[in-house]
Structure 1
Amino acid sequence: MEIQQLLLKFKFHILITSTFSILIFALIYLAPRFLDILKYFWPLLLSTALFLVAIVLFGRISSPVTEVSGEGILDYVAGQSEELQPHLHELHEGEGESSKVE
C-alpha cells in the first residue's frame, strides 16, 4: 500500500523522466552519425574555411588607409565645399532682403 501511494505521489516525476528518456533514446537512435553529416557538408565547410583564410590574408597584406573612410563621399553628398560657403551665405542674405514685402 505504501508503494502505491509513493507511486501516485511521484507519478508526474516518473512520467516526465520516462518521456525524456524515450526522447533521448529516439534522438540517439534516429539521428545521423557525425561522419555522415561531415561527408554531406564538407564542400560548404571547406569553402567557408578558405573564404575566412582569404579575409585574414587580405587584411594583413593590404596597406592601411591614409584617408578617413567615407570622408570624400560625405563631402560629395553634402555638396557644399568650404570654398563655396561665403558665397552661399551672401546669396542667402540677398534673398532675404529682396523677399521683404513693404
Structure 2
Amino acid sequence: MEIVEKVVKLRYHILGALVLCLTLISLLVMASSPRLMSLFTYFWPLFLSTALVLALVIFFAKTPPFSPTDASSFHNAAQGLLDYVAGHHDPPFDARHKSD
C-alpha cells in the first residue's frame, strides 16, 4: 500500500521520464536515417544563428536598465540625432567657401 501511494505521488515525474526516454529513442532512430542528417547539415547555420540570437536576448534581458542620470544624457543624444536626421542642423562647412 505504501508503494502505491508513492507511485501515485510521483506519477507526473514517471510520465515525464517515460516521454523523455521515448523522445530520445525516437531521435536516435531518426538520426540514423540519412534524410534527417542531411536536413541537419543543410540547416546548421540557421540553427546556430537562432541559438546566438536567443542567447543575446537572454543576455540583454538580464542587463539592468539605464539609471536616471544616464537616461537624461541618452535623451539629449537621441534628440540631437533626431534633429540631425530631420534636417534641423547646421551644415558642417561654410557654403561660401565651397570648392567647385
TM-score by length of 2: 0.34
- Higher Cα Rg, which structure: 1
